Amino acid sequence: MMTRILIADDHDVVRSGVRTILEGHDGWSVVGEARDGKDAIAQAQATRPDIVILDYGLPLVNGVEATRQIRTRVPGVEVLIFTMHDTDSLVRDVLEAGARGFLLKSDAKQFLVSAVESLAAHRPFFTGKVSEALLETYLSRGAANESALSSREKAVVQLIAEGRTNKQIANILSISTKTVETHRALALRKLNLDTTAALIRYAIRNKLVEC
């Protein structure tokens, strides 16, 4: 059976390179490409792929939030997070969102085919600081640190840093403006910040947005 794959990355050259590698493999078909997280969610619903390769740093909706929505709306789909970073908090967030694959972009040439093969067989695949042996550890730990931002709060902070209004953020994340305001207030309180400018600086320092 053909394995259907969706690629989501905001860089054209990255999508092109990934597509070239994937389409060189018998039995694999790229059914779509997306430049941002909101488009990735829409295309996943429209094309019903077996695997979605998601850049963590997608505009509009980041890879973590996109993973959560795709896994909810397309049952059975496997998600491979494709990123330049492998911090502990990022890894925890993607696991909690439902991703079962994690691949550093620097490892793509060596491991992309293996990662897709594993996910096609519904087996997890991780590189970087995370191995399959650590999967249960991260899942069991969960969000133990109450002072850390939740993945939804991070999604809201990212969009604030991108210059989106509360109304735009609500539309992108499919939540109410009141909920956006609540997430913003919680993020400020958890981070001990008091201005939007400080929140934006936090987003830049922690790579929630690309400079």
- Domain 151-205: give its CATH architecture: Orthogonal Bundle (1.10)
pLDDT score of 133? 43
The domain spans of the chain are 3-141, 151-205
pLDDT score of 115? 94
Local confidence pLDDT in tens for the 211 residues of the chain: 899 999 999 999 999 999 999 999 999 999 999 999 999 999 999 999 999 999 998 999 999 999 999 999 998 999 999 988 777 677 778 888 899 999 888 888 889 999 999 999 999 888 765 654 455 555 555 444 445 788 889 999 999 999 999 999 999 998 999 999 999 999 998 888 888 898 998 988 887 887 6
CATH class entry, domain 3-141 = alpha beta
pLDDT score of 144? 45
Token duo for residue 144: 């133990």
pLDDT score of 8? 97
**Can you spell out the DSSP letters for 145-179?**
-TTSPPHHHHHHHHHHHTT--HHHHHHHHT--HHH
**pTM check: above 0.75:** no
**Can you spell out the DSSP letters for 22-73?**
HHTSTTEEEEEEESSHHHHHHHHHHH--SEEEEETT-SSS-HHHHHHHHHHH
pLDDT score of 33? 96
